[in-house]
Amino acid sequence: MKLRKVTAASAAVLALSVAATACGSGDKDDKGSGGSKKISIGIKFDQPGIGQKTPQGYAGFDVDVATYVAKKLGYDAGQIDWKESKSQDRETMLQRGDVDFIAASYSITPERQEKVDFAGPYLLAHQDVLVRADDSSIKAATDLNSKKLCSVTGSTSAQNIKDKLAPKADLQNYPTYSACLTGLQNGAIDALTTDDSILAGYASQSQFKGKFKLAGLKMTNENYGIGVKKGSDLKAKINTALEAMVSDGTWQKTVDKNFGPANYKNDPAPKIGDIKS
């Protein structure tokens, strides 16, 4: 009799243990880390209009695109774990699995495609220059000859202009785009160059509205894609989400919201897989 009581008690403990284990496994997210379902997305934290971390949260075109895509994948905004993806870290972050995908002004190039896969493109940007709103002297790349041209230290944008388009341009390297904008505002420089989407994002900040304009030179094609780990099935799912974003009108509304104050003349939404050289 005593033996049967012990055996019954042991069985009850075992049943409770199995039930607890089964319940716990159901609470784990896709990465098996426990808690509610989450998705990790890489963005820029320091590009106004594109991807920026603010006291109120995260804002910008890439943030809005990524949030829309995440929703189509089954995640609401509260289930997104935003991670800073600096340009030099993006491929490594994807290869290590630090993030599920990256939307961070991430131009699709053959070199990058060897390391990661891309959904999209979802925006066709171009190298351009930002000038003061009252400056009508720069209408072509050759007009940059003898002009003080600013870009951030380490960027290839200004050097590309000097090497190929305006060899007499006076290059000015500043530590940040914000510093370039200050120089442009006070007349220390004549033009700032990088992707037109990035320029539009900076110029759309409240303190700069109406003070600058894009020259509209379109010197290169920059096909922004969403990076995923090589071989990931997320690529096809993200492409489907991007197509929906364009077809339901959300894509254009997002462009207007983030770049409109700079009078950004965007190209039409690119077709999936159509990469402009």
On whether the CB atoms of residues 49 and 246 are closer than 8 A, the answer is no
Q: What is the CATH number assigned to the segment(s) 39-125+223-262?
A: 3.40.190.10
pLDDT above 90 (res 235): yes
Segment (H or E) for 90: helix 90-96
Please give the share of the chain, as a percent, with pLDDT higher than 90.
Answer: 77
All structural domains of the chain with their residue ranges: 39-125+223-262, 127-214
For the beta sheet containing 51-54, the strands, ordered from the edge strand earlier in sequence to the opposite edge, are 46-47, 51-54, 57-59
Q: Do domains 39-125+223-262 and 127-214 have the same CATH topology?
A: yes
Amino acid sitting at position 232? S
Query: What is the overall mean pLDDT for the chain?
Result: 88
Segment 49-97, tens digit of pLDDT: 999 999 999 999 999 999 999 999 999 999 999 999 999 999 999 999 9
Cα 188 to Cα 164: distance, rounded to the nearest angstrom: 24
Predicted local distance difference test score (pLDDT) of residue 123: 98
List Cα–Cα distances, 58 to 55, 67, 221, in angstroms: 8, 10, 27
What is residue 119's three-state secondary structure?
strand
Segment 152-204, tens digit of pLDDT:
887 788 888 999 999 999 999 999 888 999 999 999 999 999 999 999 999 99
Query: Residue 146 has what pLDDT?
Result: 94
CATH 3.90.950.10 fits 127-214, yes or no: no
pLDDT at 95: 98
Q: What is the pTM of this model?
A: 0.83
